[in-house]
């Protein structure tokens, strides 16, 4: 029963996250162009937005639901439920922001979802917390690489005739950071939530740093890319990140697990290859205006 409760809570958490990002998207439409190379200006514009704070409230409630889900089941069990919450993303993106999804993008979404399911099957019942040294390496790479890539991208010229990015690169960068945050949340629950967790572990601080930077990056990207592509990619990357971080060494894995791991890797690479880097010629109507 606890497993089913955990999956239900995970689905609700995922839906709340996407509702929060809907407020972020609405806030982004009212802001002047955000730039990751101007952190003070960026922070001032974001923190002054009431819509952005409403989105934060939804995100925090979603985090509470995810904590409750993690206390009832493990990440390898609740990942499909978290991915199922992408239904809410599709509904909001198409119903509220009028974002159209092409046939190729539907295929990519199916491949990404299937990759997530394969990785879940590969780690089923064998997920274990990564060693502390591995966690530190993951944390350093997960923060430095996306921030560096994102800052480099923000230095590229963006004139009137610049081609609009599809969002996959931003989604991968933010997904890595969100994945580190979710891993830290998972490890916090695994270790046990008590009064000493703030002084005896780095998990809460990793969570705040990773999710904070990831959300800011997504806020910038929401101004430039479609919500549906950006968040779909970020979500799947984040869930796969958590699963791979707890993947045991190759020797203890069974052949079915190895086959699922290989299949998931192939599906993931295929999906990223198929996603176009730039938007097509057809315009996208968002909130009643062409963007």
88-121: per-residue pLDDT in tens?
A: 998 999 889 988 888 888 888 889 888 888 888 8
Instruction: Establish if 211 belongs to a structural domain.
Output: yes
Residue 284 counted as domain residue: no
289 assigned to some structural domain:
no
Going by DSSP bridges, is the β-strand pair 289-290/285-286 parallel, antiparallel, or unpaired?
A: antiparallel
**Beta-carbon-side half-sphere exposure of residue 269 (alpha carbons within 13 Å):** 6
List the one residue out of 76, 74, 66 whose CA is nearest residue 117.
76
- Low pLDDT (below 70) residues in the chain: 1, 125, 150-166, 248-253, 255, 276-291
Q: Whole domain around residue 49: which residue ranges?
A: 2-157+164-279
Q: What global pTM score does this model have?
A: 0.83
- Both tokens of residue 85? 């919450």
Give pLDDT, residue 129: 85
For residue 111, tell me if it sits in a domain. Answer: yes
Return all residues near 93 (Cβ < 8 A) that are at least 6 apart. 99, 101, 226, 227, 228, 231
User: 272 lies in a domain?
Assistant: yes
Number of domains in the chain: 1
**Using one digit for the tens of pLDDT, what is the confidence trace for 114-144?**
888 888 888 776 778 888 888 999 899 888 8
pLDDT for the residue 50? 93
Give the three-state DSSP class for 56.
helix
Cβ(173)–Cβ(217) under 8 Å? yes
């Amino acid at each position: 029963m606890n497993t089913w409760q955990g999956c239900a809570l995970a689905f609700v958490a995922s839906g709340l996250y996407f509702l929060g990002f809907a407020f972020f998207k609405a806030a982004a439409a009212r802001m002047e162009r955000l730039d990751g190379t101007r952190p003070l200006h960026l922070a001032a514009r974001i923190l002054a937005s009431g819509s952005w704070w409403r989105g934060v409230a939804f995100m925090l409630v979603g985090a509470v639901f995810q904590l409750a889900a993690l206390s009832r089941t493990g990440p390898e069990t609740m990942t499909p439920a978290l991915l199922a919450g992408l239904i809410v993303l599709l509904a909001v993106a198409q119903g509220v922001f009028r974002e159209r999804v092409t046939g190729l993008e539907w295929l990519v979404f199916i491949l990404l979802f299937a990759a997530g399911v394969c990785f879940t099957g590969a780690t089923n019942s064998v997920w274990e917390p990564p060693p502390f040294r591995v966690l530190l390496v993951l944390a350093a790479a997960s923060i430095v690489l996306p921030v560096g890539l994102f800052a480099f991208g923000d230095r590229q010229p963006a004139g009137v005739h610049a081609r609009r990015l599809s969002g996959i690169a931003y989604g991968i960068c933010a997904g890595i950071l969100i994945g580190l945050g979710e891993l830290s949340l998972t490890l916090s629950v695994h270790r046990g939530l008590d009064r000493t967790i703030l002084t005896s572990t780095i998990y809460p601080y990793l969570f705040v740093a990773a999710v904070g930077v990831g959300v800011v990056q997504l806020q910038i990207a929401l101004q430039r890319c479609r919500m549906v592509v950006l968040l779909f990619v970020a979500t799947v990357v984040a869930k796969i990140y958590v699963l791979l971080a707890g993947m045991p060494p190759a020797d203890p894995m069974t052949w079915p697990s190895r086959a699922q791991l290989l299949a998931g890797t192939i599906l993931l690479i295929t999906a990223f290859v198929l996603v176009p880097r730039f938007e097509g010629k057809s315009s996208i109507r968002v909130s009643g205006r062409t963007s």
